[in-house]
A and B are shown apart, each in its own frame.
Chain A
Amino acid sequence: MQPERLAALRPSWAQALPRGIAPFAAGLALAFTLQLVIVPLVGDFWARLLMDIGINITLAVSLNMVNGYTGQFSIGHAAFMAVGGYVAGAVTYYGSYLWLDALGPTGRPVVSGAFLGAGDLTFVAAALVGGLAAAAAGFVVGLPSLRLRGDYLAIVTLGFGEIFRVVVQRTDDVKFVAAEVAQAGPLDLLTSVGGALGFGGIPTYTTVFWVWSVVAVVLVVATRLKFSSEGRAFLSVRENEVAAEAMGVDTTRYKVKAFVLAAFFAGLAGALFAHESGTTLNPRELGFQKSFDVVIMVVLGGMGSISGAVLAAILLTLLPELLRSFADWRMVAYAALLIGMMLARPQGLFGLREVWELGRSRRRAP
């Protein structure tokens, strides 16, 4: 088609802008309602569970971009979560000393300001910084390994997680004397995140509203991506890399793109996790086990299915809560589930399809 005719078909800014913003606005409104109406109704325990579900949805949907859309296999997703969590946590924790001046009676950082006050804005900025740091880590890890086949990626992501764990364990204790914090340089503060003991005392800014806002964003981004021409390029990498390359898809570039995007959202999820009440960021907790949890969510829901990942994330967050007495057997059951799933229904519950596409006949590959 002629370029000028293409340009004529393209919607004008006045049309495109509301269409672009509407889903995000709807998502934010929904998150706000959730916070204002549902949370007072259900109480603290369920509010906490609601936050955990939201964080897991963010993780599963973002990992789905790598494992589902492009068919690569990353099993180090928790490491990106950890990068985001540590960076964002360090920013708000030390930010409370340095520019928020938000110290409680014991001299430790506390939540400052009202909703959308200075404290909340710092938290949002910190989460974005954490996400960007995770995305940068994703780029560094992805670039060399994505030139090779999927299972090397699995090894490298796993290895990256381990290296990150070792490095974090070598960091210094958390500083809590205001005078010390004021004297230390930024690099010094960033490396004082508790080492093997964990990073506790981060002010608890995470609320249901923030978690579900991020969920809204990740869902909109994931859906838009999947049903766009950009997303078809991702999917083509998954279906047949050689054919995709022959059709002019720069496969390495799309793989790295997916990887960086997924890492960014994992970093956001980590930031949310770090600012939940009672969290002590621990390099061990955000290791293999957490990564495998997320992988299981994606595999269970169906590789490439957004709604599948969401449902699996909800299910696998609620199940351990409901089956507390079987906590010891949880991982055994997960493992058996994973094997059984691969033997009986390798494409996961929904495969590539979404919940609303279930009724339709399966699209056949030509």
Chain B
Amino acid sequence: MTRLLQTLLDGVAVGSLYALIALGYTMVYGILQFINFAHSDIFMVGAWAAFIVARAAGYADVGAEAPVYGALTALLGAMALCATLGFIIERFAYRPLRGAARLNVLITAIGVSLLIENLGQKDFLFGTQPQKMPQLLPDLELFTLFDVRFGLVDLTVIGVAFALMAALQWLVFQTKLGRAMRAVSHNIPVASLMGIDVDRVISFTFVLGSTLAAAAGFLFVMKYPGALKQPADSTWILLGLKCFVAAVVGGIGNLRGAVLGGLLIGCIEMFGAAYLSPHLRDVYVFALLILVLLFKPSGLLGRATVEKV
């Protein structure tokens, strides 16, 4: 029971991170029908930005004594930086290719991804050394259930992720801007006839997705302080891939599908690691992808109920 609950907690924590990133993939795919390969790099930049902000503010030495707003500063700093980055990428790399063949956009996305990774390797940015994230939140134990420790960090990760997802849900389905996003995802020419500034909406979508990815990056290094690998390390791409798999599994273009897919992937990974073999975590995820592609290519929540963004 302890093991089951512990695995479930880990699965949900990781899964909610995956869901945050998967939302970015699914929103872009819903509108432009291409895989934003650079999304995993925005996530990486978010994680590193959180680290840089924390270090610049001197929290590295303070450790658990860091003031509470330290974590908040790092989170907001990372989000602001990545939002800018997402805007720049869309404006200068993707927008000139609007209407070009999809393969060209895909190749450009890969180019952007390589560019960010390899620039990030430079010493004036993040460098080639893996770093250890300072502990911004005290390692408090909130409560124990069946011998499973519910720490502050775990619950913060899950809480922040779900708060952001709820905010996104509200934004997309309750606001005027959200309605414009949904309209653009349904049909770009018609949306522009209705007076929607399509370019602005697409820009905003990238900014939104990048912000969520930055938050995920921050939460990721909070939960796994030792996992801040060098920018071109393949773990980042692999994480991004898993999140894209999550979006596909849930039904690409569908917000709730992305959340569901993220949680599912996180749980499958953790349960597989705990009960089968911990070394084959990536294999489970891709096996699930192939199964879904074979039997229900439109994803779990399918096209019929899709509310594309």
Contacts and interface: CB of A to CB of B under 8 A. Distances in A.
A155 B244 contact: yes
Contact of A160 (B101, B110, B286, B293): B286
Given A166-B280, A343-B96, A346-B101, A292 B110 contact: yes
Report whether over half of chain B's contact residues are helix, strand or loop; otherwise say mixed. Answer: helix
B118 A331 contact: yes
B23 interface: no
Given A162-B282, A332-B118, A144 B290 contact: yes
A313 to B, nearest CB: 17
B191 interface: no
Interface stretch (A199-207, A244-252, A333-341): A333-341
Contact of B293 (A144, A331, A343): A144
Query: Interface size class for chain A?
Result: 35 or more
A332 B283 CA distance: 30
Contacts of B96: 343
Interface string B266-301: 000000000000011011011001100110010000
B112 A339 contact: yes
A148 B280 contact: no
Nearest to A166: B282
Nearest to B279: A170
A252 to B, nearest CB: 13
Interface stretch (B47-55, B151-159, B205-213, B233-241): B233-241
A158 B241 contact: yes
Contacts of B103: 71, 73, 150, 303
Interface string A297-329: 001000100000000000000000000000010
B62 interface: no
B93 A339 contact: yes
B68 interface: no
Interface in B73-129: 93, 96-97, 100-108, 110-115, 117-119, 121-122
A16 to B, nearest CB: 37
Contact of B283 (A147, A156, A163): A163
Interface in B117-168: 117-119, 121-122
A287 interface: yes
A144 B294 contact: yes
A152 B290 CA distance: 10
Given A162-B282, A342-B108, A155 B289 contact: yes
A71 B106 CA distance: 12
A155 B234 contact: no
B202 interface: no
Nearest to A165: B234
B142 to A, nearest CB: 35
Interface string A254-277: 000000000000000000000000
B248 interface: yes
B220 to A, nearest CB: 18
Nearest to A140: B290
B245 interface: yes
B248 A152 contact: yes
A15 to B, nearest CB: 41
B237 A151 contact: no
B115 to A, nearest CB: 4
Nearest to B285: A159
Contacts of B105: 342
A154 B294 CA distance: 16
A162 B237 CA distance: 10
Contact of B114 (A148, A152, A292): A292
B278 to A, nearest CB: 11
A171 to B, nearest CB: 11
B238 to A, nearest CB: 6
A338 B38 CA distance: 14
B107 A338 contact: yes
Contacts of A144: 290, 293-294
Contacts of A166: 279-280, 282-283
A348 B115 CA distance: 19
Nearest to A167: B283
Contacts of A167: 283
20 contacts: A75-B110, A150-B102, A154-B35, A155-B241, A156-B286, A159-B285, A162-B238, A162-B241, A162-B282, A162-B286, A163-B283, A166-B279, A166-B280, A166-B283, A295-B110, A331-B114, A332-B118, A338-B107, A343-B97, A346-B100
Given A150-B103, A162-B234, A338-B114, 10 more contacts: A73-B106, A145-B293, A155-B244, A155-B289, A163-B282, A331-B117, A335-B111, A335-B118, A336-B111, A342-B111
